[in-house]
Structure 1
Amino acid sequence: MGTTESYKTLLISTEQTYDLRDRVLRGPRPPESIYYPGDEVETTFHVGVVQGDRVLSNGTFMKQSHPHFPDSKSTYRLRGMATDPEFQGQGFGQLVINAALEELKLRKADLIWFNGRTSAEAFYRKLGFLVEDEIFDIPGAGPHKVMYKSLV
């Protein structure tokens, strides 16, 4: 996938995503919220920026359609995008997204979508994602919008 200095961007295991999901994303939700339905499905993959044994940033990408995109034939959803607070703002999230976009093209995906926190909207727009106007609340996680990017 790629290397930047002593950091590697690569495919990681489901288990390697749990630490950041728990520390960065879970908040007041129950501990089992770090496990996503579909984590272990063959078409799901996880990308991480890793330094030694430490995952600095990661995201999960699972094949899942969305009713807003009925014409898409191979749609993937991003879940669990998280960067260790100590390393936020250093480009590691962008490395995860860029590596995932490469992998999605290899898998012949035509669209990626996700429910993104409104606080991260500028980050995703900078990476070329489009954002729907409607804001909705995910209990325990706050306001979100559907964000997406065509891969064709």
Structure 2
Amino acid sequence: MLFLEIPFQSDWYAQACVLRNQLLRLPLGLDLQTEDLSPESEYLHFGIEQEGQIVAYVLAVPMSDERAKLRQMAVATAYQGQGLGRRLLELVEASLKQKGIQMLELDARKEAVGFYEKLGYAVEGDEFISVTIPHQRMTKAIVAD
């Protein structure tokens, strides 16, 4: 498996969009293909490639020089439960730390809160609805050692 920083509009990015759509949008009756993805040209895209396919993905939205928001985390169904999501986040955190990011935030789907808590993310504020389902804001400091 290979960790990648994925260029916007690359073949890897196209694969990541398919993965995101299948796992995160279509089950909610939404379609990523109908969304304006042009702002994503300013984001950082990360993935894990296995046998020529993106099998895990997350994007980071720079909020400031020291803060970023993680979004759209997805792990292909066949690879779930094998520690790949944990590994992807560890590698992304290390990469972002090298870029000067010190604080991460994310909006976790309610059923994923426990996963993020195990990785050191802390719940902040009240539960809210986003893309029709309950979410929880979470944060984690990744200050350089």
| Structure 2 residue runs without a partner (length 5+) | none
Whether contact under 8 Å (2:44, 2:59) holds in the other structure is yes
**Corresponding position of 1:96:** 88
Specify whether residues 36 and 124 from structure 1 end up closer, same or farther in structure 2 by C-alpha distance, changes over 3 A only: farther
Tell me, in whole angstroms, the C-alpha distance in 1 between the residues paired with 2:59 and 2:105.
12
Tell me, in whole angstroms, the C-alpha distance in 2 between the residues paired with 1:54 and 1:83.
12
Tell me, in whole angstroms, the C-alpha distance in 2 between the residues paired with 1:75 and 1:84.
27
Tell me, in whole angstroms, the C-alpha distance in 2 between the residues paired with 1:103 and 1:123.
20
Per-residue CA distance 1:69-91 (angstroms, 9 max, x = gap): xxxx5210101100111111111
In the TM superposition, residue 35 of structure 1 has moved relative to its aligned partner by 5.2
**Corresponding position of 2:69:** 77
- Identity value in percent: 27
In the TM superposition, residue 46 of structure 1 has moved relative to its aligned partner by 1.3
Tell me, in whole angstroms, the C-alpha distance in 2 between the residues paired with 1:147 and 1:62.
15
- Note the aligned Cα RMSD (angstroms): 1.8
Whether contact under 8 Å (1:47, 1:59) holds in the other structure is yes
> Within the alignment, does 1:86 sit opposite 2:82 as a pair?
no
**Corresponding position of 2:119:** 127
Q: Which amino acid is the alignment partner of residue 49 of structure 2? A: V
| Structure 1 residue runs without a partner (length 5+) | 1-6, 66-72
TM-score (norm 1): 0.81
How does 1:2-17 map onto structure 2 within 5 Å? 7-14=1-8, 15=13, 16-17=15-16
Tell me, in whole angstroms, the C-alpha distance in 1 between the residues paired with 2:51 and 2:36.
24
**Corresponding position of 1:149:** 140
